[in-house]
């Protein structure tokens, strides 16, 4: 997906170092963690264990993802960073209000 460990960790509400440990095979992900990651990647927990899923094929963005990318295409890096920070802030606020 092109995300950093920090970005993935934020989306999954996990610690970035834990994501790194899973990637390096130092820690095993619990079923709950696989569920969280599955929601983000559009996979079932079993897909991680079977080696199936999007890793075998080219990723195709959801139509809404393409629309969002279209909004920032052609913008400066600074403008893209501001959009990213705004979206990140809105999602954090949504999570806080939802808890």
- 34 touches 45 (CB < 8 A): yes
Lowest pLDDT segment from 7-16, 34-43, 45-54, 79-88: 45-54
- 91 touches 83 (CB < 8 A): no
Per the confidence metrics, is the pTM higher than 0.75?
no
Question: Residue 1: is its pLDDT beyond 80?
Answer: no
Fold type of domain 5-56? 434 Repressor (Amino-terminal Domain) (1.10.260)
67-86 pLDDT, tens digit each: 888 888 888 889 988 998 99
How is the chain split into domains, by residue range?
A: 5-56, 63-98
Rounded Cα–Cα distance for residues 19 and 11 (Å): 11
Question: Whole-number mean pLDDT of the chain?
Answer: 83
Rg (CA), the chain: 15
């Amino acid at each position: 997906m092109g995300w950093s460990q920090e970005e993935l960790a934020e989306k999954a509400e996990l610690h970035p170092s834990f994501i790194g440990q899973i990637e390096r095979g130092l820690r095993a992900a619990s079923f709950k963690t696989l569920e969280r990651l599955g929601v983000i990647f559009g996979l079932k927990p079993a897909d991680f264990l079977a080696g199936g899923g999007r890793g075998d094929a080219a990723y195709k963005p959801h139509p809404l993802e393409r629309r969002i990318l279209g909004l920032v295409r052609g913008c400066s890096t600074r403008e893209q960073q501001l959009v990213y920070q705004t979206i990140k802030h809105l999602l954090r606020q949504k999570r806080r209000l939802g808890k």
